[in-house]
Amino acid sequence: MRRSKPALLPARLLFKRSIRTSAPRWNQPFDPKSIERAEDEVDVCIVGGGPAGLSAAIRLKQLEREKGNEIRVVVLEKGSEAGSHILSGAVIEPRALDELLPEWRTMEEHPLRQPATSSKMLFMTEKMTFPMPHPPQMSNKGNYIVSLSQYARWLANVAENEYGVEIYPGFAGAQLLLSEAPDAKDAWGNDVRSVRGVITNEVGLTKDFRMKSSFEPGMAFRSKVTLLAEGAHGSLSKQAIQMYDLRKESEPQTYAIGLKEVWRVDPSEYKPGLVQHLVGWPLSSDTYGGGWVYHMNDGLVSLGLVIALDYKNPYLSPYRELQRMKHHPFFRRLLKDGERIGYGARSLTEGGFQSIPKLNFPGGALLGCSAGVVNIAKIKGTHNAMKTGMLAAEAAYEAIHEESEDAPATDMSGYDKAFHESWVRDDLYEVRNLRPSFGTKLGIWGGMAYSGVDTLFLKGRVPWTFKHHRPSHGPDKTSSLDSSFTEKADLHTPINYPPFEAPLSTDLMTSVALTGTNHAEDQPVHLRVVKTKDFVKGIEESQNFAVGAGVNALKAEAEIDAVAEDEVEAERKRRIEHVKVNVGEYAGLLQRACPAGVYEYIDVEGSGNTPEGDAWQGKKLVINSQNCIHCKLCDIKVPTQDITWTVPEGSGGPKYTLT
């Protein structure tokens, strides 16, 4: 049984949390400059309790046993428990697990119970399916079909109970804790402030940034090394990439959205261990993506659809595409008399080798999908994510115990070097040209032809490396490449999706209910209407933590001079401009793209404006942040690149158990 959150905290930490020099006044605006935070010192602080972060934690404690030097390792997990925010297909290649825990097959309660027994590739038309040659990279011999949520939960139990790792669920890493002045050089020789740890989110603020009676400031975890293992497009990872220009020598990252359902199917349709991948319908020929069907253990089937987020048509709805896919005779037969018991969605990286950024920065490093190590040709990334965690752990352990106590910032460059000498690099390098080949003028058919030749004969042994395709108006370094491919609505016609046929296909909110998602409604909106570079700048330069949270939040901060009055007006203008462009030019893309119904552009009654004055031509943006399942699609795909995903209060979000 897992311990309760308070029991996980050291006594000194509990003592510090109870100390306040002055009690906050209820309903007063939040003043970040007057806050005194509880602090704790650790050797390594890991943000994210997924496979990468937990592998790093386990490997660090293994090194402690092997070499005898004590090391304190803390894992901060924003979910209510390890695994509750984890979602993937998933078929796992156990290579990294074999290295990390060679005895795992003899360990009780391990979740790798269903070996993959056969693999098939199918091409779908609207009514038919046809077998296709199976690429060698997609062979699943020796692999296992799992729930990645359950897998992460098991790894967390191993880390905590077998190795003494401190895991703090419900602690959301909200800010990077930086040195007070430049004390290090970045990879490019610039004088920079180093990362000295992580600050967790404030608890007990209203949506208008006023303190409730339950207010408690976020905690500062000061660490010698900070490892960011947040998954694809993590909020702190984005900040680190921007602050230290980690993409200076790499291609932009590209992403897809994966939507997943778990069904209990009729025994006559259940084929344990069968792995099927699908291409073609329902996606158009200029949209990269495909479906999957994995027969898990215990009569369960994982099915889903992955859609690359460089799709052009703003009328496309990933959720409706998944529901439409299930209307195919192939799925009607599979799911007849079945019961849907799970749903979820998550962004994943597709950029591959050429999109790997510089992995280290002063005081820390990027791990797993924060670095972008999914092998999109294999449709797998867990093995690579775990190995990066192990490599980072080894570099961190060595750096911590070699450097003097007064060293300005821990040097993690050994990790970047080890990565490029590892089998993870080789795994990604061999298939580096497959995904970019689909972005040529030859389209999906040209990509399939090149990929077939490369996988069967060339195997990546060519002197060229394709770049990811770009539109003529390519993005800046802090914007999403995928969003820039979105075309204006007047170039397309709305997609006529078929009506739902419950229980085979259902409306969105019925599906979201299966995620167990919950956020306290009266808390600051964690989906900020502001560009990422401006959000980071606002925090770094003026401690404007309310930026992007709405006009009323900025007004509250202006009451205590935490922000200037002109910043309130700037907030209003950002909202108006967002609605103007996204509704006027892109037909309200987020209203269809979000797989959790978070965004709405509603009609304003009466005067056509709101008390906040943030409507445009009678339309207002409403963010239902309590529905958010933390998929990050909005941050990546919004054409205006002015949604910045930040962490909500800890424990908020989905409660995945079977995904």
For the annotated catalytic residues, the residue numbers are: 88, 346, 382, 594, 628, 631, 634
Nearest to 347, CA basis, from 469, 258, 407, 453: 258
Token look-up 């770009």 returns 470
For residue 109, the tally of other CB atoms under 10 A from its CB is 10
Using CA atoms, how far apart are residues 48 and 52, in angstroms rounded to an integer?
A: 8
Would you call 260 helix, strand, or coil by DSSP?
strand
Can you say whether residue 63 is alpha, beta or left, with left for phi > 0 and alpha for psi between -120 and 50 degrees?
Answer: alpha
Query: Between the CA atoms of 155, 159, 160 and 165, what dihedral angle is there, to the nearest 10 degrees?
Result: -140
Return all residues near 5 (Cβ < 8 A) that are at least 6 apart: 168, 169, 170
Query: What tokens does 128 get?
Result: 């038919």
Query: What tokens does 409 get?
Result: 């910032």
Using CA atoms, how far apart are residues 41 and 455, in angstroms rounded to an integer?
A: 49
At 152, the amino acid letter reads A
Return all residues near 425 (Cβ < 8 A) that are at least 6 apart: 353, 419
Query: What tokens does 562 get?
Result: 């935490």
Using CA atoms, how far apart are residues 526 and 645, in angstroms rounded to an integer?
A: 6
**211: which strand partners?**
205
Alpha carbon 176 to chain centroid distance? Answer: 17
At 137, the amino acid letter reads Q
Using CA atoms, how far apart are residues 332 and 328, in angstroms rounded to an integer?
A: 6
Would you call 40 helix, strand, or coil by DSSP?
strand
Return all residues near 117 (Cβ < 8 A) that are at least 6 apart: 272, 273, 274
**Host H or E run for residue 151:** helix 148-157
Q: CA of 426: how far to CAs of 1, 221, 385, in Å? A: 40, 35, 14
What are the two backbone dihedrals, phi and then psi, of residue 24, each rounded to the nearest 5 degrees? -65, 145
Using CA atoms, how far apart are residues 155 and 139, in angstroms rounded to an integer?
A: 25
Residues in the chain: 659
**Contact predicate 79/49, CB 8 Å:** yes
Return all residues near 113 (Cβ < 8 A) that are at least 6 apart: 144, 297
Please calculate the CA angle 207-209-213 and round it to the nearest 5 degrees: 90
| End-to-end Cα distance, the chain | 21
**Contact predicate 170/5, CB 8 Å:** yes
For residue 125, the tally of other CB atoms under 10 A from its CB is 10
**Contact predicate 556/546, CB 8 Å:** yes
**Contact predicate 6/17, CB 8 Å:** no
Using CA atoms, how far apart are residues 397 and 122, in angstroms rounded to an integer?
A: 46
Nearest to 216, CA basis, from 196, 234, 200, 193: 200
Query: Between the CA atoms of 131, 348, 659 and 501, what dihedral angle is there, to the nearest 10 degrees?
Result: -60
Can you say whether residue 189 is alpha, beta or left, with left for phi > 0 and alpha for psi between -120 and 50 degrees?
Answer: left
